[in-house]
Structure 1
Amino acid sequence: GGHQAFDAEGRLAAAGRVLEPDLEAWLTDPFFDTVPPRSTGRERFGGPALARWLAGTAGARAEDLIATLTQVTAASVRRAFEWIPFDIGGVYLCGGGARNPELARRISVELDPIPVRSVDELGWDGDAREAAAFALFARQHRLGIPLDLGWATGAEGPRILGKQVPV
């Protein structure tokens, strides 16, 4: 009966069934047809978009709504991987979604036969991924080693990232 910030352990999604027409409707958003890498969040799929969708789902069980949104996430991962022009040996999940067994299971089903695991299996803290990336960027900057992140930034060629500011 209360409110939850997220689907702890994926229990709600696991107990629900995907509303297929709603799944397909979510996946028609042009965002899912843009070339990866890409990122979005509440600014596109939260607030008003979610309210519009919920207004059209009167009578649906909460479990089915959560199962549908969880499947949207898993299907969007698969669609992003369809852009990769070479074989993928494995996928490692990190962050909050990696701790959601139902989301991890659905991603694994979507990407089958590619193995899907948690970065924890590599000895990494999946919650520290962003901090680890910025530590790497700082190291490369200090050593004067350029990184080629044109695929993510649009830069043409390797660049030394960041700026050191004395404190």
Structure 2
Amino acid sequence: MAGDLLSLRQHVTSLEVENGHLRRSLASQEELGHSLLADADLDVMTQEELLDRLGDKHVARAVAATLKRKLVASTAEVKRLKDRVQWLQNELIRKNDREKDLMLLQRAHQQQQATLRRCQEKVAKTKGLEDTVRQQEKVIEAMERVLQEKLTGATRNAEKPAGGCKW
């Protein structure tokens, strides 16, 4: 059980590390997208303004197409990373629940072990008392025999006349 607990904790730690990496990656992707849009202001720029800024019509279209592809790819990556973060958070919750259940089971097991030890001690004590009672019964039986023999001997002596024969 301790090994299970350690492996769960290691897995939780690795999930937390991966979660952190994914969050940082997500933040950098969002930052990259925002900086790209902030630098170019594509939403407010017309195609003519973009052409003026870049100078060449073909280059401007290529840049616009590239930026759109990057934006779509970044959006998809952000969604994928958000889904992954959500999945990892759910997995972490499940692992924490399992660890909690494991700890409850360990506590219950320890209580059962303590109860078992107490019962075993009572059984051992009872067995010792039973042995003592048997020994005492033997002693009492022996004393009863001795007493019976003395009583039988005293009764025989009482039946014999005192002082010998009188004929």
Computing the radius of gyration over CA atoms, which structure comes out larger, 1 or 2?
Answer: 2
Does TM, scored on the shorter chain, surpass 0.5? no
TM range (shorter): under 0.3
TM-score when normalising by structure 1: 0.24
**Greater relative contact order (CA < 8 Å, ≥ 6 in sequence):** 2
User: Which structure has more helix as a fraction of its residues?
Assistant: 2
TM-score when normalising by structure 2: 0.24
